[in-house]
């Protein structure tokens, strides 16, 4: 039976695309991530796990139904350093499973559906290349001179929360996508209880991590000021 010209062309294109995807040249280092702003008081040359790497992985990989502690898909938990480092060969991104799966176009590609962009891949690459340390910079995001939702709260929520509490099916039916959503969570007292890991609240962020004391204080200051937008 002869294939139609259109079907034959479709198959050829699929084979070409698949071949290209699987032959991605991982030996080529991506560009270094853009350095943080002047308010960042730690090293601008260092990629910090807690500040840059963990938020990316939480958003892309450790969502509900994937690699969070409750779901542990494929027996992998990626909401904490201990689980993530199992997929990493320090100083060697090209031979680290965590980095290689970002370029796979098979069923094992991570994250599924929406792959990481170049900036996110760069963060993972350079963190591994620098030794994949469990490090953090507590000076990040700590400007408390003019606390507003837009300038102070929204960037933290985007980094740490929207991977689970965004989209059409937010975890535990709690959405934090908009100013009104975050205000409602704050008014219910769930926000500060979760951020402070208090008894009776589900601790956030996931994986036993916590925001820095300064970041938590920013949320409290914002609430005390009347939650300015």
| Structure confidence by residue, pLDDT tens digits, 157-182 | 988 888 778 878 787 889 999 999 99
Distance CA 179, CA 67 (A): 28
Whether 131 and 199 map to the same domain: the answer is: no
Regarding whether 128 and 59 lie in a shared domain, the answer is: yes
* Within a domain: 34: no
- Asked if residue 163 and residue 133 are part of one domain, the reply reads no
Tell me what pLDDT residue 192 has. 96
Q: Which residue has the tokens 């796979």?
A: 104
Compute the Cα dihedral for 100, 62, 178, 191 and give only its sign. negative
Taking alpha carbons only, the member of 216, 217, 193, 195 closest to residue 205 is 195
Examine the domain organization and report whether 96 and 176 are in the same domain: no
Per-residue pLDDT reduced to its tens digit, 197-226? 999 998 888 766 788 888 899 999 999 999
Is residue 52 included in any domain, yes or no? yes
In a domain, residue 22? The reply is: no
Phi-psi category of 167—alpha, beta or left, where left has phi over 0 and alpha has psi -120 to 50?
left
Q: Report the number of distinct structural domains present in the chain.
A: 2
Shared domain check, 113 and 184: no
pLDDT of residue 41: 79
Beta-carbon contacts of 5 under 8 Å, excluding residues fewer than 6 positions away, are: none
Single residue among 137, 171, 195 that ends a domain in this structure: 137
Which pLDDT does position 206 carry in this prediction?
A: 72
Task: Identify whether residues 86 and 119 lie together within a single domain.
Answer: yes
Torsion of CA 143, 146, 150, 151, to 10 degrees: -30
Alpha helices, DSSP H only, in 81-141?
A: 81-84, 97-100, 118-129
Q: Does one domain contain both 160 and 128?
A: no
Judge whether 66 lies within some domain: yes
Where in the sequence is the domain holding 90, given as residue range(s)?
46-137
Per-residue pLDDT of the chain (229 residues; tens, 9 = 90+): 444 554 444 444 444 334 444 456 787 899 999 887 776 778 989 999 988 999 888 887 756 556 555 555 566 778 889 999 999 999 999 999 999 888 765 555 667 667 788 899 999 999 999 999 999 887 665 677 789 999 999 988 988 888 778 878 787 889 999 999 999 999 999 999 999 999 999 888 876 678 888 889 999 999 999 999 9
Q: Domain check: are 170 and 207 in the same one?
A: yes
From CA 146, how far away is CA 191, in angstroms rounded? 20
Of 106, 137, 168, the position where a domain reaches its end is 137
Are 206 and 180 members of one domain? Answer: yes
Tell whether 11 is covered by a domain: no
Distance CA 206, CA 53 (A): 14
Q: Let me know if residue 39 belongs to a domain.
A: no
pLDDT at 105: 59
**pTM to 2 decimal places:** 0.70
For residues 66 and 104, state if they share a domain.
yes
Closest CA to 195 of 180, 182, 181: 182
């Amino acid at each position: 039976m002869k294939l139609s010209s259109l079907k034959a062309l479709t198959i050829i294109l699929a084979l070409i695309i698949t071949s290209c995807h699987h032959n991605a040249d991982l030996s080529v280092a991506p560009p270094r991530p853009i350095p943080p702003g002047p308010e960042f008081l730690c090293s601008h040359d260092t990629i910090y796990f807690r500040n840059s790497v963990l938020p990316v992985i939480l958003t892309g990989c450790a969502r509900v139904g994937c690699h969070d502690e409750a779901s542990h898909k494929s027996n992998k938990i990626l909401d904490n350093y201990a689980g993530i480092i199992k997929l990493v060969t320090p100083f060697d991104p090209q031979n680290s499973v965590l980095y290689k799966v970002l370029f796979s176009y098979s069923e094992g590609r991570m994250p599924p559906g929406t792959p990481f962009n170049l900036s996110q891949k760069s963060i993972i690459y350079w963190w591994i290349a620098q030794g994949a340390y469990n490090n953090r910079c507590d000076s990040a995001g700590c400007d408390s001179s003019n606390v507003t939702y837009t300038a102070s709260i929204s960037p933290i929520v985007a980094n740490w929360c929207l991977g689970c509490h965004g989209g059409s099916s937010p975890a535990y039916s709690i959405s934090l996508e908009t100013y009104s959503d975050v205000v409602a969570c704050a008014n219910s007292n769930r926000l500060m209880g979760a951020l402070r890991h208090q008894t009776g609240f589900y601790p956030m962020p996931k994986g036993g991590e916590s925001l820095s004391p300064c970041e938590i204080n920013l949320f409290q200051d914002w609430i005390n000021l009347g939650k300015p937008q």
